[in-house]
Structures are given as C-alpha cells and as structure tokens.
Structure 1
Amino acid sequence: MEWMVGESPTDLISVSTGNSTEYSDRQKVDAKRRLLDLVNKGVEATLVQLLETGLIHADPHPGNLRCTSSGEIGFLDFGLLCQMEKRHQFAMLASIVHIVNGDWASLVNALIDMDMVRPGTNIRLVTMELEQALGEVEFKDGIPDVKFSRVLGKILSVAFKYHFRMPAYYTLVLRSLASFEGLAIAADKKFKTFEAAYPYVVRKLLTENSAATRKILHSVLLNRKKEFQWQRLSLFLRVGATRKALQLVTSNSETSPDQSPNKAAGTFDIAYLILTILPSKDGVALRRLLMTAV
C-alpha cells in the first residue's frame, strides 16, 4: 500500500471551468493543462494495461484518479480489475486499427476473435451494418475525427441487433476509455480519444515483432492482391511520429496550416522515427515490412 497525494480530476475541472471572480485566467489555463495531461496519460496507461500487461484497472472514475505534484497519473482503489487473454488483447488492437482504416470485414473478424459474435451469425449482414453505421465517420490526418463514445455507440447498436456476446473485459476496457474521454471533454470539447490513443497503437505495430502484430500490419499495408500500399505506410509513419502536445488556451494565437512550423517538424519527426527504429532491435518488424515491399 502506498499513500498518494495529488489533485483529483473533479478539482481540476472545477478550477478550469470556474467563474472569473473565483479563479484567475492563469489558474484556469494551468488546471486545464494538467487535466488534459492526466487524461492523455490515462489513455496511454489504459493502452499499456490493455496491450502490454493484460491486467486493467477497470474503474478509473474521477474519485480513483490523481494528478500528482510530479505530473504523473495515480490510480486508486484496485477493487475492480480485469485480466485479459493474449488473443483478446491482439484482437482489440486489431479492431482499433480496422476501425481507423475502414476495413469492416476485418473488424468483424476481430470481433469474432474477441468471442463477441455468436456462431451462426450472418457475417455478411453484420459487415454491411457496420459499414453503414461507421462509413460516415470523417477522418483528419488519418485518424477518426469523432468522439470515441459515438463510435462505440454505433458498434453497440449493431451488437445489440445481432445479439452479440459482451465479454466482461470488453465492456470494462471500453468503459475505461470512455471515462477518460468524458473527463477531457469537460475541459476541452474538441478532445478525441482516437487522436490520443492511435499514435501508441501505431508505434506498437511498428516496433513489436510478433506473429500477431505482423498479421495486423500486413492486413493494413497489403491489399488483397498482396500489393504493398505505400500511402498506408506513409500515414502510419506520420501518425507514429505525432507529438501529442497539449493545446493550451491562448488568445489570438491561431496559425493557418500553410504557415504552421509543424509541417517541417512533422517531416523531421518521421525521418527521426525511421532512422531511430530501423537500425534498432525494435526495427525488425519495419525492416521485414520494407523487404516485403521491395
């Protein structure tokens, strides 16, 4: 047991959204920054638990979270934990990737691997329903420009219609991610869980050399004719090199995309990512992938 001191998300929300007489603008900006930092770290912590350890803190409500003085996220109350099987971990990883890439047939296969789809279900109809429900989602820089809760709602509507099973681990993981999104939206209505989570997912796929991750990568980067899709790889590298800096509340500081210095920085980040990964021990998957393409 360890005593943990820190601010709760509820306190940070209270300060960041408080009236102008109670808190200064600087206090509001700082509280918002710390809250969004906590949420981003919480999303990444959930993904680490989901994709690395398989042991998940399944009840991250505001009362169970703390923002410590050192800027770390603290979890309290481990009374509700979820242990996942390895195959379910990779199936959930695959489902995130397939949603982003609009590959509904592969998404259904991932749901089957999660033990959600009952035997005898009409897979073709389920695929069509998912495409109809999620096909309207817009993308920004290769990432769904939509709230996680909305995507989840659309998937659940199809799941209920076709009487999917809802394994405990599945509902608890989604609840965890949705909880963090709810916290963030209280301070920043433009927050997107996919935007916070997907760079971690991409980096895992590019650096983990396992049969499961290679299978997911190949499903994304090779078409049905086994032809390499360079545009997809370029997008993967761009997302993997994203710097998830928090956006502070500033006045009169908007910069047009054409004038933004982030373009040059983004190109540098991609080059840096490639040069860092390729010669390293974590670059086996990427080296194999490039050899496949040549």
Structure 2
Amino acid sequence: MLGAGLYHADPHPGNLLRTPDGRLAYVDFGMMGYVGAGLSAALASALYAHQLRLPPYFALLLRSLAVLEGIALATDPRYQILAAAYPWVARRLLQAEAPRLKALLSQVLYSRGELDFARLQSLLSHAVVDRERA
C-alpha cells in the first residue's frame, strides 16, 4: 500500500479480515490517506539525517490523536484540531513550572523582541475558557 502512496488510516482488528488463504485484507476504507513520493522521500531523508526514533508509547499517542481527529473530521469537516487544543495549550503554558515550558511561553509572548499584547490576551482568554470547561 505504501508503494502506491495510499494507506489505510484506521487499522484496527475490526477493519481487518483474514482471507481463506491466510492473508490479511482491509475493510472500511472511510479513512484513507495519500503520501506523495516527494513527501515520502523528504520525510525518510529527515528521519535518517536526524536519527529520529519515536518511543513506542509516543507513536501510539500520535496514532490515537490521528484517529480521534479523523473521527471528528468525519463528523465535522471544518474541525480544526489545533484550534480545539489551543485553550489547553494556553492554560498549560501559563501555569508552567518547568523551565522549558517557561522558555517556550517567553518565545510565544516575545516573538518580535517585544511583548505581543494581542497574543497574551488570546492566551489568557483561551485559558479561562478551558478552565471553565474543566
């Protein structure tokens, strides 16, 4: 499947059948994806150049997020995962105690060398909205 650039985006036991000759066959092609040859080569090159290795738990986390996003997009094609996650990210950055998160907050708020008040206001308002939902 990857040779043609197509992949099944929801592989789980309910979407796989065993054929009489013992091979696996996919069913339910509602979530398919395509990776062009150029992008595939660029990703492989970047992974090789930087010796990127994902721990298994992280790969599973990414898969879970991708499946959830796919379900949300099937329900609402206008769904934007980053917009939905922004309130949580904002609250997390504003409550940061870890030095790396504090540094990231500083980069976000001082992107052009001066305090970005609009961005600060956005972070605060989204953090409040997320807190009200919790």
TM normalised by structure 1 equals 0.27
In structure 1, the partner of 2:107 is 219
The structural deviation recorded for 1:219 is 1.0
Residue 77 of structure 2 corresponds to residue 193 of structure 1: no
Measured in 1, the distance between the counterparts of 2:69 and 2:90 equals: 20
1:238 to 119, 125, 128: 125
Q: Structure 2 stretches of 5 or more lacking a match?
A: 1-11, 15-32
Measured in 2, the distance between the counterparts of 1:217 and 1:171 equals: 26
The structural deviation recorded for 1:62 is 9.8
SS in structure 2 at match of 1:241: helix
Residue 98 of structure 2 corresponds to residue 210 of structure 1: yes
Residue 112 of structure 2 corresponds to residue 228 of structure 1: no
For residues 279-294 of structure 1, what are the structure 2 equivalents within 5 Å?
none
C-alpha contact 1:177 1:193 (8 A) present in aligned 2: no
SS in structure 1 at match of 2:59: helix
2:68 to 176, 180, 189: 180
The structural deviation recorded for 1:200 is 0.8
2:44 to 134, 157, 160: 160
The structural deviation recorded for 1:202 is 0.9
C-alpha contact 1:205 1:214 (8 A) present in aligned 2: yes
Measured in 2, the distance between the counterparts of 1:161 and 1:170 equals: 21
Measured in 1, the distance between the counterparts of 2:45 and 2:124 equals: 37
- Which amino acid in structure 2 is aligned with residue 232 of structure 1? R
- Which amino acid in structure 2 is aligned with residue 171 of structure 1? A
- Residues 161-213 of structure 1, C-alpha deviation per residue, up to 9 Å, x if partnerless? 32342413443222111010112222222222212222111111111322121
For residues 112-191 of structure 1, what are the structure 2 equivalents within 5 Å?
158-162=42-46, 163=48, 164=50, 165-168=52-55, 169-191=57-79
Measured in 1, the distance between the counterparts of 2:123 and 2:74 equals: 30
Q: CA 1:190–1:223 in 2, change beyond 3 Å: closer, same or farther?
A: closer
Measured in 1, the distance between the counterparts of 2:80 and 2:111 equals: 29
For residues 53-132 of structure 1, what are the structure 2 equivalents within 5 Å?
none
Q: Structure 1 stretches of 5 or more lacking a match?
A: 1-60, 64-149, 244-268, 270-294
The structural deviation recorded for 1:234 is 1.5
- Residues 70-103 of structure 1, C-alpha deviation per residue, up to 9 Å, x if partnerless? xxxxxxxxxxxxxxxxxxxxxxxxxxxxxxxxxx
- Which amino acid in structure 2 is aligned with residue 221 of structure 1? L
